[in-house]
Chain A
Amino acid sequence: MSNIFAYVETRGPDVRKVGLEAVTAARMLADKTGAGEVHALLLGPPGISAKASQLGQHGADVVIIVEHANLANYNPEVATATAAERIKSGGYRGAIFSTTAQGRDLAPRVAARLGVSVVTDVLSFEVEGDTVVVRHPMNIGKVIATLAISATPAVIAMRPNVISPAQNAKAGKVENAQPAIDPSSARVKVIETRKGTGGKLDLAEAPVVIAGGRGLKSAENFKLVEDLAAAFGNAAVGATRAVTDDGWRPHSDQIGQTGRLVSPELYIAVGISGAVQHLAGMRTSKTIVAVNKDKDAPIFKVADYGIVGDVFEVIPALTEAVREAKKHH
Chain B
Amino acid sequence: MKIAVCVKRVPDMDVRFRIGADNLSLDEAGLKFDINDFDAWAVEAALQLKEKNAGSEVTVISLGPDVVQETIRKALSMGADRGIQLKADKVPFDGLAIAKALSEELKTGAYDLILFGKMSPDSSNGVVGPMAAEILGLPCVTAISSLEIANGKGTAKRELEGAQEIVEFPLPAVLTVDEGLNTARYPSLKGIMAAKKKPLEVKPAQIPAPQITVRKLELPAERKAGRIVGEGAAAVPELVKLLQTEAKVL
Residues B13 and A143 in contact, CB atoms below 8 Å apart = no
State whether the Cβ of A251 lies closer than 8 Å to any Cβ in chain B: yes
Residues B242 and A192 in contact, CB atoms below 8 Å apart = no
A109 to B174, CA, bound (A): 12
Task: Tell which of A150, A287, A309 touches B243, judged by Cβ atoms closer than 8 Å.
Answer: A287
Residues of B near A112 (CB, < 8 A) are 96, 99, 130-135
Residues B219 and A144 in contact, CB atoms below 8 Å apart = yes
Task: Tell which of B170, B220, B223, B247 touches A142, judged by Cβ atoms closer than 8 Å.
Answer: B220
Task: Tell which of A105, A137, A303, A313 touches B124, judged by Cβ atoms closer than 8 Å.
Answer: A137
State whether the Cβ of A178 lies closer than 8 Å to any Cβ in chain B: no
Whether A107 touches B243, Cβ cut-off 8 Å, given contacts A148-B215, A195-B163, A307-B230, is no
Stretch at the interface among A35-43, A164-172, A318-326: A318-326
Count, chain A residues at interface, CB 8 A: 98
A112 to B242, CA, bound (A): 48
State whether the Cβ of B151 lies closer than 8 Å to any Cβ in chain A: no
Residues B240 and A318 in contact, CB atoms below 8 Å apart = yes
Residues A76 and B213 in contact, CB atoms below 8 Å apart = no
A56 to B73, CA, bound (A): 55
Query: Nearest B residue to A310 by beta-carbon distance?
Result: B232
Contact with A along B86-104 (1 / 0, CB 8 A): 0000000111110100000
How many Å from the CB of A211 to the closest CB on chain B? 15
- List B42-91 residues whose CB lies under 8 Å from chain A: none
State whether the Cβ of A49 lies closer than 8 Å to any Cβ in chain B: no
Contact with B along A113-149 (1 / 0, CB 8 A): 1011111110000000000010011111111111111
Task: Tell which of B96, B229, B230 touches A116, judged by Cβ atoms closer than 8 Å.
Answer: B96
Residues of B near A250 (CB, < 8 A) are 159, 164
Query: Nearest A residue to B122 by beta-carbon distance?
Result: A139
Task: Tell which of A80, A189, A194, A305 touches B227, judged by Cβ atoms closer than 8 Å.
Answer: A305
Residues of B near A100 (CB, < 8 A) are 161
State whether the Cβ of A108 lies closer than 8 Å to any Cβ in chain B: yes
Residues B249 and A321 in contact, CB atoms below 8 Å apart = no
Query: Nearest A residue to B232 by beta-carbon distance?
Result: A309
Residues of A near B187 (CB, < 8 A) are none
Stretch at the interface among A60-68, A88-96, A202-210, A213-221: A202-210
Residues B159 and A252 in contact, CB atoms below 8 Å apart = yes
State whether the Cβ of B218 lies closer than 8 Å to any Cβ in chain A: yes
How many Å from the CB of B136 to the closest CB on chain A? 10
Whether A101 touches B240, Cβ cut-off 8 Å, given contacts A117-B94, A306-B227, A325-B250, is no
A300 to B223, CA, bound (A): 11
A133 to B239, CA, bound (A): 39
Residues B239 and A76 in contact, CB atoms below 8 Å apart = no
Residues B159 and A251 in contact, CB atoms below 8 Å apart = yes
Residues of A near B123 (CB, < 8 A) are 138
Residues of A near B228 (CB, < 8 A) are 295, 300, 306-308
Residues A108 and B95 in contact, CB atoms below 8 Å apart = yes
Residues A121 and B227 in contact, CB atoms below 8 Å apart = no
Query: Nearest A residue to B169 by beta-carbon distance?
Result: A188
Stretch at the interface among B1-9, B106-114, B138-146, B193-201: B138-146
A74 to B170, CA, bound (A): 19
Residues A307 and B236 in contact, CB atoms below 8 Å apart = yes
A151 to B210, CA, bound (A): 9
| B: contact size bracket | 35 or more
- Central interface residue in A121, A244, A307, A318, by most chain B CB within 10 Å: A307
Whether A116 touches B142, Cβ cut-off 8 Å, given contacts A140-B124, A190-B165, A306-B227, is no
Residues B96 and A196 in contact, CB atoms below 8 Å apart = no
Residues B220 and A141 in contact, CB atoms below 8 Å apart = yes
Residues B212 and A117 in contact, CB atoms below 8 Å apart = yes
State whether the Cβ of A181 lies closer than 8 Å to any Cβ in chain B: no
State whether the Cβ of A175 lies closer than 8 Å to any Cβ in chain B: no
Task: Tell which of A73, A105, A113, A304 touches B226, judged by Cβ atoms closer than 8 Å.
Answer: A304
State whether the Cβ of A111 lies closer than 8 Å to any Cβ in chain B: yes
Contact with A along B27-55 (1 / 0, CB 8 A): 00000000001100000000000000000
Residues B215 and A146 in contact, CB atoms below 8 Å apart = yes
A289 to B125, CA, bound (A): 29
Contact with A along B204-219 (1 / 0, CB 8 A): 0000001111111111
State whether the Cβ of A176 lies closer than 8 Å to any Cβ in chain B: no
State whether the Cβ of A104 lies closer than 8 Å to any Cβ in chain B: yes
Task: Tell which of B129, B168, B226, B240 touches A321, judged by Cβ atoms closer than 8 Å.
Answer: B240
Residues B236 and A314 in contact, CB atoms below 8 Å apart = yes
Residues A193 and B163 in contact, CB atoms below 8 Å apart = yes
Task: Tell which of B134, B158, B243 touches A289, judged by Cβ atoms closer than 8 Å.
Answer: B243
Residues B130 and A321 in contact, CB atoms below 8 Å apart = no
Task: Tell which of A104, A143, A314 touches B126, judged by Cβ atoms closer than 8 Å.
Answer: A104
* Given pairs A121-B124, A305-B229, 12 additional interface contacts (CB within 8 A): A109-B130, A138-B123, A140-B13, A143-B219, A145-B214, A194-B166, A202-B161, A277-B13, A295-B228, A300-B226, A313-B232, A322-B240
Question: 8 closest A-B pairs (Cβ-Cβ)?
Answer: A112-B134, A108-B127, A251-B180, A309-B232, A317-B233, A117-B96, A151-B211, A112-B131
Interface residues of B (CB under 8 A from A): 11, 13-14, 16-17, 19, 26, 37-38, 93-97, 99, 118, 121-135, 139-143, 145, 155, 158-170, 173, 178-180, 210-220, 223, 225-233, 235-237, 239-240, 242-244, 247, 249-250
Subset of 6 A-B contacts with CB under 8 Å: A108-B131, A109-B131, A142-B220, A143-B218, A251-B178, A252-B161
